[in-house]
A and B are shown apart, each in its own frame.
Chain A
Amino acid sequence: MRKARLPRALHPVAWWLWAVALATAAGRTGNPLLLLLIFGVLGVTVTLRRTDAPWARAFRYYLTAALVIIVIRVVFRSVFATGTAPGDHILFRLPHVPTPAWYAGIQLGGPVSLEAVLSAALDGLRLACLLCCVGAANSLANPKRALRVLPGALYELGVAVTVALSVAPQLVESVQRVVRARRLRAGRTSGLRALRAIAIPVLHDALDRSLRLAAAMDSRGYGGTGTATASSRRWTGLLLLTGLAGLCVGVYGLLDVTVPHAVGLAGFAAGALLCAGGLYLGGRRVSRTSYRPDPWQWPEWTVAAGGLCAAVVLAAGSGYDPTGGGALRWPTLPLVPALAVLLAAAAALASPPPPVRSAP
């Protein structure tokens, strides 16, 4: 067995690239069979490649949310009837609620056609698929390790998020403890006065804790080896701001058909360059190393490329089914896009299995 395939955690960025690419692919297709195929791929990959960490158990919540999205979509489409084309198959009729004249744009109730329900379900399915792609990335990649990939200039941001992630459960625990203690004094645990009696000890606790954490981080050298001068800080800010402005102009140019394509591209490129410069300059002021950084080896390349391949094939239009709910017929599974999605699955399974934690 090759070294790169030994059990280990895959680089979080590889998982995110793969998942975002699949989400792009899902967004570009209207074929329910392809969407279901993507769901299947996500499910299999998450089952086989997630660790036993707390965040890895989140996928089923995303699945529940996905189901809710589809149901809401169908219900809304049925209640806010958007009209039916002649020749539609009417399933049933909801009682029609007359709306006032100034509210004329929206109809409540009325006939519900099979076509409308199907197209709503398809829309919902596509949205749900996007959500599950994000969910898969969240379950597969350790969020804290993903933050470590941030460029040096954004390190503080990463630390803030990491600390917030660990403080949130402590805050919940603190509230539970204080509410329980409040009952020992036979105080009420609801109402405005109780809020004060609960909030004050909890806030005291949180402040104490953050001060102690800050002292500990300071003692351990956090933010120690900086060489930032005032002028370098100003330059960083200037570069980042103009860079972001450039990016905005570029994106606008690319999306608006009346602006020449070249202008958009140029703006985009210039913005990206300026941002990169700003991040580089900002990153120079922090010098730190990272312990056991996640390696980027061929499985990472494979996973990312597999996902991108699916995205490119589907974005090229081969998977798009414009008929949507137009005609009532069983959709066919187009060969090339299906193969592309399966390729993404194969690439994901080429990743090394997750590390097995020894029993405590």
Chain B
Amino acid sequence: MIRFERAGLAYDGSEPVLHDVELSIGEGELCLVVGATGTGKSTLLGAINGLVPHFTGGTLTGRVTVAGRDTAHHPPREYADLVGVVGQDPVAGFVTDTVEEELAYGMEQLALDPAVMRTRVEETLDLLGLAGLRHRGLHELSGGQQQRVAIAAALTTHPRVLVLDEPTSALDPTGAEDVLAAIVRLVHDLGITVVLAEHRLERVLQYADRLLHLPGDGTVHDGDPATLMAAATVAPPVVHLGRLAGWTPLPLSVRDARRHGSGLRTRLPEQPRTPHHDSHATTAPVLTAEDVIVRHGPVVAVRGASLTLHAGEVVALMGRNGSGKSSLLWALQGTGRRDGGRIRVRGTDPKTVTAAAARRLCGLVPQTATDLLYLDTVAAELAQADRDAGRATAGRARAILDAVAPGIADDHHPRDLSAGQQLALVLAVQLTADPGVLLLDEPTRGLDYHAKDGLRHTVAALAATGTAVIVATHDVEFATTIADRVVVMAEGEIVADGPAPAVLTASPSFAPQIAKILAPLPYLTLDQVRAAWTPAS
């Protein structure tokens, strides 16, 4: 179906991103593309329908063909009937404003007969479970629904290949499951070839027929998921556990691992010997919030939330999209709206002091971290951060950045950095003010395992110095490795607040993979299993 023949791609004046790639993807395969940021995943995906190089520039060597059609001779629009493309942010790709019109858009461009369009729209609405939403405006939908509409819109032209670039990165666990279930159904029912890039392997690995691993040197490693995973440097917890226990074939899903795991469960002690992570929590409260209310017009975003945060404590704030996590964080910082309730950070209400004082009490890294960056170079941003924090001596921001993510050159443009580096820069900017409380809103969005590890170390180091941290996240595995406490929100209310092991093992959708495999044993992380592990004699 898709063939890469000695394909290489280089952008002007730099090392080739892909080099001599030989690849052949057959009909009805679900192909998972993995690799760290900047290894060429998006380039590989874009090359399939000719967006790379026709749209992005760069030089293509070798040949890329889809169903015999060579991308060198056909622009992307001539692949509309053959390749459906769904990006990371579905909203950015919407052309019309209602679900039904969006589904029809691609077919209108191909000049299909109105009667054909009508039947295809109906069948696609059913295929992706969107029939109830057909007249709704695209911007009223939740993230998961929007992503399913984007997939449906790509499907109406009956493509034989579907290319998805991180389709679940912005979604909560339930929304992500919906989207993945839809994709798997397409592969099984319609035999569509799916090429999917994803950072969060734990979500998709089990569905993949084939793995393309991009190590970053321009090559592509291609193979069976279980085989490649045995040696891969990035792997979800289930694979790490499988390797530790020596299971063959290597399990890729929780179900497979549980079937292997009964023996393991009997050999592990009832209680883990070590905590799920090194806690620095103290009992000195730094932030108290009582009955916080936030309203946006008629919508009540936060409905009387109360929360106490102690020095050195790391709290994961979880809940589905739109449950009020961001509104709560903004209210706690003092910049956002607050329509009721009491907030004290070290005895001061952050709303009553100046913005400069508020950021010394509470630093917030917003969801779109790049909103904070506006200068031309990293050095200029860091110097500005020193000035913003009112520091007499320069260099503090640089020192923090080097501790968070070493090796970011002064002369780089902040917008050219990878998502992980941008986050590090924004963190450095905010930490220059030495806030006693740090609030992070969805920091793991778009980060690879490596960048997430870096973030984890940064958060742990901050907690060790007594900073209290709240991380709003959908990423269960990440929350498991950093949080002392987990707070779950739903419809603006706090529905669960307790120690991470208790909350994370209580609900299936917020449980990490290790907990799901080893339930009812209260293990959360691989390190806990490793510490308690006594190999069978």
Contacts and interface: CB of A to CB of B under 8 A. Distances in A.
Interface string A223-266: 11100000000000000000000000000000000000000000
Interface string A173-188: 0000110111111110
B366 A181 contact: yes
A326 to B, nearest CB: 52
B444 interface: no
A292 B374 CA distance: 45
Given A187-B388, A221-B80, A201 B101 contact: no
Given A289-B108, A289-B112, A289-B114, A184 B359 contact: yes
A204 B415 contact: yes
Nearest to B364: A184
A79 interface: no
A289 B117 contact: yes
Interface stretch (A67-75, A210-218, A339-347): A210-218
A111 B282 CA distance: 82
A103 interface: no
- Nearest 4 CB-CB pairs, A to B? A221-B80, A216-B93, A291-B104, A181-B371
Interface stretch (B81-89, B234-242, B484-492): B81-89
Given A218-B55, A219-B85, A290-B108, A201 B370 contact: yes
A221 B104 contact: no
Contacts of A287: 111
A358 B132 CA distance: 9
A186 B358 CA distance: 8
A292 B111 contact: no
Contacts of A358: 135
Interface in B351-408: 354-356, 358-359, 363-364, 366, 368, 370-374, 385, 388
Nearest to A187: B388
Interface in A292-306: 292-293
Contacts of B135: 357-358
B111 A186 contact: no
A216 B92 contact: yes
Contact of A183 (B79, B84, B355): B355
Nearest to B330: A180
A220 B140 contact: no
A166 interface: yes
Nearest to A224: B77
Contacts of B460: none
Contact of B366 (A184, A198, A220): A184
Contacts of A185: 359, 372, 385, 388, 429-430
Contact of A288 (B83, B92, B109, B359): B109
Contacts of B354: 186
B78 A224 contact: yes
Given A166-B94, A216-B87, A292-B114, 18 more contacts: A180-B330, A184-B335, A184-B372, A185-B385, A187-B355, A201-B374, A212-B87, A213-B95, A216-B95, A218-B54, A220-B105, A220-B109, A289-B107, A289-B108, A289-B111, A289-B112, A291-B100, A291-B118
Contacts of A183: 335, 355
Contacts of B104: 291-292
A212 B89 contact: yes
5 contacts: A197-B374, A200-B374, A220-B157, A289-B108, A292-B118
A196 interface: yes
Contacts of B113: 289
A155 B504 CA distance: 54
B333 interface: yes
A287 B113 CA distance: 11
B276 to A, nearest CB: 31
A216 B371 contact: no
B346 interface: no
A166 B102 CA distance: 13
A359 B415 CA distance: 43
A-side interface mostly: helix
A292 B121 CA distance: 11
A169 B361 CA distance: 34
B495 interface: no
A181 B77 CA distance: 38
Interface in A301-317: none
A290 B370 contact: no
B114 A218 contact: no
Interface in B47-92: 49, 51, 54-55, 75-81, 83-85, 87, 89, 92
B110 interface: yes
Given A163-B95, A218-B51, A221-B81, A177 B368 contact: yes
A144 B100 CA distance: 14
B359 A213 contact: no
Interface in A142-186: 144, 162-163, 166, 177-178, 180-186
A247 B108 CA distance: 33
A209 interface: yes
B243 to A, nearest CB: 38
B188 interface: no
A291 B117 contact: yes
B269 interface: no
Interface string A317-360: 00000000000000000000000000000000000000001101
Interface string A190-210: 000000111011001000110
A190 to B, nearest CB: 13
B470 to A, nearest CB: 15
Nearest to A216: B93
Contacts of A291: 100-101, 104, 107-108, 114, 117-118, 121
A92 interface: no
A177 B388 CA distance: 20
A222 interface: yes
B333 to A, nearest CB: 7
B109 A222 contact: yes
A289 B429 CA distance: 52
A160 to B, nearest CB: 12
B75 A218 contact: yes
Contacts of B330: 180
A225 B75 CA distance: 11
Contacts of A201: 370-374
Given A180-B335, A181-B371, A204-B415, A219 B114 contact: no
A284 to B, nearest CB: 13
A197 B364 CA distance: 18
Contacts of B429: 185
B499 interface: no
A185 B381 CA distance: 11
A288 B76 CA distance: 17
B97 interface: yes
Contact of A223 (B77, B92, B373): B77
A292 B135 CA distance: 13
Contacts of A163: 95
A292 B366 CA distance: 42
Interface in B138-159: 140, 153-154, 157
A293 B109 contact: no
Interface string B318-341: 000000000000100101100000
Contact of B55 (A144, A184, A215, A289): A215
B193 to A, nearest CB: 16
A92 B233 CA distance: 91
B170 to A, nearest CB: 14
A230 to B, nearest CB: 18
